[in-house]
Amino acid sequence: MKPRKKATKRYAWWRALVFSVTAACLLSTLLAQAGRRAHPTSDASTALNVVAARANGSTAPITSKEVALFDNGVEQTIKNFAPDLSPARIVLLVDNSLTIRADVEKLESAALEFAYEIYDGDKLLIVGYDMNAEIVSDWTDDAKKIETELKTFRKKGDPHLFDSIMAVVEDALHPLSAQKRAIVVISDGLDRGSKTKFNQALSALQSLDIVVYCVQAQDRTRGAIRRDVPKPRQVIDDLAEGTGGSIFPIDDPRAAAKAISDELRRNRYVLSYLPQSVPYSEARRLLVVGDDGINARAKTMQPPN
């Protein structure tokens, strides 16, 4: 009789385990059907890169009580808002296609200014693009090395801007997910021939929270409209606004390089929050607002998870 009792006990234990697993699966299915998600834990916090500065030029740190975040129109509770003083990894994506309305010397000058303005610890990757994106100078902070390697710039071919953005995101910046990342596009925004659609490129940037600054050359199309791609000016505007960046004219590259380098080191914050009452499977509008006297911006869209 003892062996039988032991078997019965083992069977009861196994039946209880099966019942527990089945119940858990059923509960998970019901929740999914109801369109609910488990309440996020502290490990599920969403981080958002924010640029924030006081309009009066004060360098006093900005606190979470001085900014508000709206996700899909719903104000969110900010868990943390802290300065990001870490070094930056900056890609200079330079249009060296044949028809851009800037000579090679101007393109070189615009890129070289960044080599002298970046902060200690920052590194640059310089990529020239026409029909292909090619590394001109690999990750470095050596201004002399950059100056020498920029001499390889040459103008040819059509500008595949959107394909080049995707190549930079996937090959150069995606692996650096734990670091501060930015792209400086030196171009007029024209794309001619990319397989990548503009919205795909912008969505990739927003998904990884990579900020784009634009050093804008003169529009070579003079406002001409094409059916399959946005106008160059619209591309520049949307890249900067959509990712929380800004736009500078190519005629003053030193001012652009200084402003961008200063902003990345002095005015960047990391905001964290637990998204509440938002549809995770849909694209969501984001809006960061500062109190009076505080200018704040971030990417404007969170693509679907």
- CA–CA dist 183, 169 (Å, integer): 9
Q: How confident is the model at residue 45 (pLDDT cuts 50, 70, 90)?
A: confident
One-character DSSP codes across 278-299: --TTS-EEEEEEEPTTEEEE--
**CA distances for 141 relative to 73, 117, 121, 186, 240, angstroms:** 41, 10, 8, 19, 25
Rounded to whole angstroms, the Cα distance separating 80 from 271 reads 6
d(CA 224, CA 31): 51
pTM for this model (two decimals): 0.84
pLDDT for 264: 98
Instruction: Compute the Cα dihedral for 107, 112, 117, 123 and give only its sign.
Output: positive
Tokens of 174: 């995606």
Instruction: Kindly state the tokens that stand for 105.
Output: 């010397």
- The pLDDT of residue 43 is 52
Q: Tell me: the pLDDT tens digits for 255-284?
A: 999 999 999 999 999 999 999 999 988 999
| Beta strand 180-187 pairing with 284-290 | unpaired
Question: Is residue 76 a contact partner of residue 86, using CB atoms and an 8 Å limit?
Answer: no
Q: At what angle do helices 232-243 and 198-207 cross, to 10 degrees?
A: 20
User: CA 205 to CA 241: how far, in whole Å?
Assistant: 12
Share of the chain above pLDDT 70, in %: 85
DSSP label of 86:
S
pLDDT at 176 over 80: yes
Residues of 47-85 as b/e, b for ≥16 C-beta within 10 angstroms? ebbbbbbbeeeeeeebebebbebebbeeebebeebeebe
- Average pLDDT on 193-208 reads 97
How does pLDDT run across 113-169, given as a tens digit for each residue? 999 999 999 999 999 999 999 999 999 999 999 999 998 888 999 999 999 999 999
* DSSP letters spanning 116-140: HHSPTT-EEEEEEESSSEEEEEEEE
What is the per-residue pLDDT for 29? Answer: 41
Q: Closest Cα to residue 193, out of 141, 152, 142, 228?
A: 228
Q: Which of 288, 298, 147 is closest to 210 using CA atoms?
A: 298
Under 8 Å between Cβ of 162 and 191: yes
Per-residue pLDDT tens over the stretch 57-102: 999 999 999 999 999 999 999 999 999 999 999 999 999 999 998 9
Name the percent of the chain lying above pLDDT 90.
Answer: 77
**Whole-number average pLDDT of the chain:** 87
Higher per-residue pLDDT: 227 or 81: 81
pLDDT of 15 above 90: no
How far, rounded to the nearest angstrom, does the alpha carbon of residue 94 sit from its chain's CA centroid?
A: 18
